[in-house]
């Protein structure tokens, strides 16, 4: 059999696994958006069956032989060629999956199901102690996972790699530290400057049907294709892909708060645009798949914050907003509205945080989870350490663990190494947006005219269409000519909030 024939066999095998994964996504979407309350138990059985089938296909021994052959063949000699990148990424994932003992995978599945249940109750009762044993167990299993996968320097590398492939803890630490050193003083300066927007503007009555219409119109305007996607309501919004031409975004509406649904829709539409921009002929294969959670988040943050929270965006959209929400906005000036949607305020809850302080919330989690994985911090000491760090970074101290260390689902679900991808997304977004601004000759004027196509096409051309051909690190270098830095994001924040808050 020639190497080409082996590759064809691999692709036939993987194509079927991708189909099963798409089915899994469809059932997951249904579960979160549509399924009647009592449907959950049987749905869980379906998901378990599919997960087992997918795992079995993903770890089939035959694949290992094929990948070994292909990796040593001329087809893989250029790691950035079509076949080279495909073989490289498929093999990388396979090698990781077969390193995990089945018993560990099952233990983790059980512990995280229990973990999420216990976490939910613990948060409701503000009772960290009841959560501590299962969280300790989860961290212990994640340490085992890191050991099974292997790492050079930091055990945390092996976990981070699940969400941000090839990223290294030391590098992420360095770039985020650079960000923190400049961000903490900026946030303090904003807090102490004596100016603040009238946030009551976005807390008036915004009827849900108008929010839906306006949000869909904005998503369509930036390029989300409703022939290839849809928007629905869910409790915890997300974006998911059910096939090369089936992308579903979700939101939730609060009639008394404009920001949550509108910027949520732009955020998820940004994720959706990335998926829509991938190579559909390679759907599910490395050349047609997203690089990393950080790059994914850069696309959502770019549309949500860099575009959606800009003054230029509202120059274009504010008249339509005033027509859709006459009761709330007819008498409100554009500048007051724009200031209100850009309120910066140190707070306790990550998911409600603004564009500037958000990254400080992430930094805290990143430092804490690293410390636990490396053995420097005990799970029992997490609440105290958490509160200390909030005091230092944001000047606020959680009155309770429910508003502190218990607020996020991630650790209970075993998602350790996930948090930094949120901030990496903001950093990538800052660097990409600055580059696009240079390449396209000033985005502000285009955005103010409602012209989003040049930016969207730039993103497709520079980022989306490559799939996983390059690692995130390579891609940033390739697109912007330099490695990832905190400087573009900080410049954006300083320029924007400097003007809004009248900072010197």
Q: Would you please indicate which residues are annotated as catalytic (active-site) residues?
A: 268
Query: Whole-angstrom Cα distance, residue 486 to residue 56?
Result: 41
Query: Whole-angstrom Cα distance, residue 327 to residue 87?
Result: 57
* Residue 102 C-beta: closest distance to a second copy, Å: 19
Phi, then psi, of 230 in degrees rounded to 5:
-150, 170
| R_g of the chain computed on alpha carbons | 23
| CA 287, chain centre distance (Å) | 20
List Cβ neighbours of 18 (8 Å cut-off, separation of 6 or more).
Answer: 283, 284, 285
Query: Whole-angstrom Cα distance, residue 279 to residue 276?
Result: 8
Query: Whole-angstrom Cα distance, residue 499 to residue 504?
Result: 9
Across 227-349, the runs of DSSP E, i.e. the strands, are 229-233, 239-243, 246-251
Question: Which helix (H) or strand (E) segment is 323 a member of?
Answer: helix 311-324
**Widest CA span in the chain:** 74
DSSP string across 192-226: HSS----GGGGGS---HHHHHHHHHHHHHHHT--T
By the 10 Å C-beta count (0-12 exposed, 13-18 middle, 19+ buried), 480 is classed as: buried
What residues make contact with a second copy under the rule CB under 8 A?
A: 16, 19-20, 22-23, 26-27, 30, 34-39, 41-43, 45-46, 49-50, 226-230, 242-247, 283
Q: Which is nearer to a second copy, 46 or 116 (CB)?
A: 46
Query: Whole-angstrom Cα distance, residue 263 to residue 308?
Result: 7
For 93-150, give the secondary structure using H, E and C. Answer: HHHHHHHCCHHHHHHHHHHHHHHHHHHHHHHHHCCHHHHHHHHHHHHHHHHHHHHHHC
- Picking from 443, 483, 444, the residue whose alpha carbon sits closest to that of residue 459 is 443
- Picking from 271, 266, 277, 284, the residue whose alpha carbon sits closest to that of residue 239 is 271
In a 3-state reduction of DSSP, which class is residue 20? helix
- Picking from 104, 455, 129, the residue whose alpha carbon sits closest to that of residue 303 is 455
- Picking from 463, 465, 459, the residue whose alpha carbon sits closest to that of residue 477 is 463
- Picking from 429, 437, 414, the residue whose alpha carbon sits closest to that of residue 490 is 429
* Cα four-point dihedral sign 43, 47, 48, 49: positive
Question: Which helix (H) or strand (E) segment is 10 a member of?
Answer: helix 3-33
């Amino acid at each position: 059999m020639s190497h080409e024939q082996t590759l064809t066999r691999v692709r036939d095998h993987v194509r079927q696994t991708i189909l099963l994964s798409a089915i899994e996504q469809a059932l997951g979407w249904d579960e979160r958006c549509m399924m009647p309350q009592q449907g959950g138990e049987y749905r869980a059985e379906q998901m378990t069956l599919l997960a087992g089938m997918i795992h079995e296909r993903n770890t089939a021994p035959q694949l290992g032989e094929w990948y070994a052959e292909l990796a040593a063949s001329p087809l893989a000699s250029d790691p950035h060629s079509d076949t080279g990148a495909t073989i490289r990424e498929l093999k990388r994932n396979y090698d990781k999956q077969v390193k995990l003992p089945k018993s560990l995978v099952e233990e983790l599945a059980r512990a995280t199901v229990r973990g999420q249940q216990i976490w939910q109750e613990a948060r409701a009762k503000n009772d960290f102690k009841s959560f501590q044993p299962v969280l300790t167990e989860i961290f212990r299993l994640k340490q085992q996972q890191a050991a099974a996968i292997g790492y050079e320097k930091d055990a945390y590398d092996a976990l981070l790699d699940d969400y941000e492939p090839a990223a290294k803890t030391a590098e992420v630490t360095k770039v985020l530290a650079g960000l923190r050193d400049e961000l903490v003083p900026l946030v303090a300066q904003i807090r102490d400057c004596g100016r603040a927007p009238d946030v009551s503007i976005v807390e008036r009555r915004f009827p849900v049907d108008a929010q839906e219409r306006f949000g869909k119109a904005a998503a369509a305007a930036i390029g989300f294709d409703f022939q290839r996607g849809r928007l629905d309501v869910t409790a915890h919004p997300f974006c998911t892909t059910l096939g090369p031409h089936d992308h579903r975004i979700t939101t939730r509406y609060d009639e008394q708060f404009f920001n949550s649904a509108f910027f949520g829709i732009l955020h998820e539409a940004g994720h959706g645009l990335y998926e829509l921009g991938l190579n559909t002929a390679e759907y599910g294969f490395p050349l047609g798949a997203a690089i990393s959670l950080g790059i994914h988040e850069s696309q959502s943050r770019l549309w949500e914050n860099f575009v959606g929270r800009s003054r230029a965006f509202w120059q274009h959209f504010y008249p339509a907003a005033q027509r859709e929400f006459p009761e709330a906005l007819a008498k409100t000036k554009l500048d007051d509205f724009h200031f209100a949607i850009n309120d910066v305020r140190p707070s306790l809850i990550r998911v409600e945080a603004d564009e500037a302080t958000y990254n400080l919330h992430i930094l805290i989690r990143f430092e804490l989870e690293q410390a636990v994985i490396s053995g420097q911090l005990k799970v029992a000491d997490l609440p105290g350490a958490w509160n200390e760090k909030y005091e230092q970074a944001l000047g606020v101290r959680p009155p309770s663990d429910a508003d502190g260390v218990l607020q996020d689902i991630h650790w209970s679900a075993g998602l350790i190494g996930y948090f930094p991808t949120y901030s990496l997304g903001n950093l990538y977004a800052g660097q990409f947006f600055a580059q696009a601004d240079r390449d396209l000759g000033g985005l502000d004027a285009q955005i103010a005219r409602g012209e989003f196509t040049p930016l969207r096409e730039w993103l497709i051309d520079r980022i989306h269409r490559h799939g996983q051909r390059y690692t995130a690190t390579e891609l940033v270098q390739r697109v912007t000519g330099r490695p990832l830095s905190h400087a573009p994001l900080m410049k954006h924040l300083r320029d924007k909030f400097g003007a809004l808050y009248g900072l010197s």
